[in-house]
Amino acid sequence: MTELPNSAKGGFVTIFDDTYNQPDCRAYFRMMDALGYRNQHHAVAAFRAGLTELMRLRGLKSARIVDFASSYGIVSALMGHDLTLAQVFDRYRAPAFDGMAAPEVIQQDRAWLNSIRHAAPPMRFVGLDVAPNAIAYGVAAGLFDAGFVEDLQENEASPDLAAELAHCDMIVECGSVAQLMPEALDRLLTAAGPRKPWVMTSPIRGNERPEAAEVLRDHGLVMERLPVPPFVHRRFERAEEQARAIANAQAQGHDTEGVESTGHFHAQILLARPADELGPPQGWALPVSVAPMG
């Protein structure tokens, strides 16, 4: 759920109004496929690299991850399974899925995901979104060990969610929501324990917000842009959309020639972590190119 600011105040609109809260994931992933989404393909590789370093620094044998604005759990799926975004899209293109009832889709997805889940390191995924059906699917399919339907932009975290956040090691999000919803980001980190989680996001270039950076600083986190080349988020659907994205990116100091000018939103990797855990990402398994998804 993301992704375009629609006002100077940083509001956003979503293009998934008809598909975001279905009883299973088929329409959502087919829409992503049709619109040329690629963000998670690149971002999750960086998230994994960051998680490896976090676990090394803290001596963790397992990790607790909150998937913020999780939708149907694509980030959790890619982080926790032997799976690529291309394979996800290919799966739901199959005509066999056309006539299935939602319970059958969920049953088949759960068996499929169980068969490809990474055994190590153990990871606990918590889904958090405003869409009840998306969260219910993620829990039923086994993508989320726990799921919460809460709007942290408007309300404090519930006691149960706060209990999960108190033990969270990393918060991940693909798209821009963490940048465009600083109140929600503040509530996430307020509920987190004294040892704050790392926050890894992949916002669209131009959607960086100083309000979000201020929230992170207030919680003792230092934000940086990791040295990952800009990568495709999705293609533009209209000339007006491209013009707005180019203007937004240039306003944040980005050179858009050969990037947004090619006809696609582009994203980046932002990492926020406690000051005493800072260090150059040398040796991290970060993406060094933006090879097409295949």
Q: What is the mean pLDDT of each run of 10 residues along the chain (294 residues)?
A: 41 55 94 94 95 97 97 96 96 95 98 94 96 96 98 96 97 85 94 96 93 95 96 94 96 96 96 96 82 62
**Interhelix angle 85-93/39-58, nearest 10 degrees:** 140
| Beta carbons within 10 angstroms of residue 27's beta carbon | 17
- Tokens describing residue 242: 């491209």
Class of domain 21-276: alpha beta
- Tokens describing residue 66: 């909150």
Q: Mention every residue, 6+ apart, whose C-beta is less than 8 A from residue 115.
A: none
Smallest CA-to-CA distance from 205 within 265, 280, 273, 126 is with: 265
| Per-position DSSP letters for the chain, written without gaps between them | ---EE-STT--EE-S-TTTTT-SSSHHHHHHHHHTT--HHHHHHHHHHHHHHHHHHHHT-SSEEEEEET-TTTHHHHHHHBS--HHHHHHHHHSGGGTT--HHHHHHHHHHHHHHHB--SS-EEEEEEES-HHHHHHHHHTTS-SEEEE--TTTSPPPHHHHHHHTT-SEEEEEESHHHH-HHHHHHHHHHS-SSPPEEEEEEBTT---HHHHHHHHHTTEEEEE-S---EEEEE-SSHHHHHHHHHHHHHTT---TTTGGGTEEEE--EEEEEGGG----TT-----S-PPP-
What confidence score (pLDDT) does residue 176 get? Answer: 76
CA distance 40 to 77: 10
- Tokens describing residue 172: 């991940």
What confidence score (pLDDT) does residue 287 get? Answer: 82
